[in-house]
């Protein structure tokens, strides 16, 4: 297949804890806008909330925990893949993680945040150590989380895996407008791939989120972009756009020759 219908959710940040957040998700999926959609992207630490202090420990769960199973059930009930952020407990540690369940309720892939930004995350979470990809409707899909995507090196690494689309759950504060509006579109353009970027909006325990969730085409242009209110973005993605962008500007191919020349000059 060459087409993928994606929805990017920008949820209100004040949702309180996993129960309320799961309830919001379940209610939202009943809306007609999700009809025939293939994939839903939710923000970073969607299940717990981001700026919740010690609750990231209290509300953490294993990747096959209660809420994971509940979300897998929603996938089957609504015939949609769901990618969401959560606080993952594993062998006595917790990770800022995201995972995706397919429309059959089976896990498709998981990502643990690679780079923890300055601030509370370094006090709570361990770093992840690898990237992986999965497929939906013929699209090869990579995963990064928030700060991961602000490094061209990590984005290039996952692009070189041959992905057509990168999913990025984020928790971007209002002061980082340049990231959502400049950096993320640049990442799509310089790799010739689609990018879906899901943020929260509103306030959470004194933190104000930017909103600005978006779906970016392989040419770096906005397909859809949210404002500062709760919103669902929907777009139809086509693999031909990836092929066209990468043929027009073959950065990934030409990079191989550039790397060779740099190595030779050392």
Of residues 44, 61, 88, 121, which has the active-site annotation? 44
Helix H or strand E segment including 258: helix 251-265
Of residues 61, 88, 100, 113, which has the active-site annotation? 113
Integer angstrom CA distances of residue 61 from 91, 97, 98:
11, 11, 12
Active site residue 236: no
Contact of 60 with 94, CB cutoff 8 Å: yes
Sequence-ordered list of residues with C-beta below 8 angstroms from that of 233, at least 6 positions apart, any chain: 7, 8, 10, 213, 214, 215, 224, 225, 226
Helix and strand numbers (H, E) in the chain are 9, 14
Active site residue 146: yes
Sequence-ordered list of residues with C-beta below 8 angstroms from that of 117, at least 6 positions apart, any chain: 146, 147
Active site residue 76: no
Of residues 75, 146, 196, 214, which has the active-site annotation? 146
Active-site residue numbers?
Answer: 44, 113, 146
């Amino acid at each position: 297949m060459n087409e993928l219908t994606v929805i990017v959710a920008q949820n209100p940040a004040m949702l309180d804890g996993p129960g309320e957040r799961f309830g919001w998700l379940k209610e939202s999926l009943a809306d007609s806008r999700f009809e025939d959609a293939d994939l839903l992207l939710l923000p970073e630490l969607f299940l717990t909330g981001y700026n919740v202090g010690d609750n990231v420990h209290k509300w953490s769960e294993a990747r096959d925990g209660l809420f994971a199973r509940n979300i897998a059930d929603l996938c089957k009930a609504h015939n949609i893949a769901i990618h969401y952020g959560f606080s993952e407990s594993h062998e006595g540690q917790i990770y800022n993680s995201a995972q995706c369940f397919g429309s059959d309720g089976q896990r498709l892939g998981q990502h643990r945040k690679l780079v923890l930004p300055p601030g509370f995350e370094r006090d709570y979470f361990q770093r992840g150590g690898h990237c992986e990809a999965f497929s939906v409707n013929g699209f090869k899909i990579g995963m990064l989380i928030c700060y991961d995507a602000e490094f061209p090196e990590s984005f290039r690494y996952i692009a070189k895996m041959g992905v057509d689309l990168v999913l990025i759950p984020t928790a971007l504060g209002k002061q980082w407008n340049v990231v959502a509006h400049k950096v993320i579109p640049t990442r799509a353009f310089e790799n010739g791939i689609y990018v879906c970027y899901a943020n929260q909006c509103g306030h959470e325990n004194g933190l104000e989120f930017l909103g600005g969730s978006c779906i970016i085409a392989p040419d770096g242009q906005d397909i859809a972009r949210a404002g500062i209110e709760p919103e669902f973005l929907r777009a139809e993605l086509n693999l031909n756009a990836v092929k066209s962008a990468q043929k027009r500007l073959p950065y990934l191919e030409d990079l191989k020759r550039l790397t060779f020349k740099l190595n030779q000059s050392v």
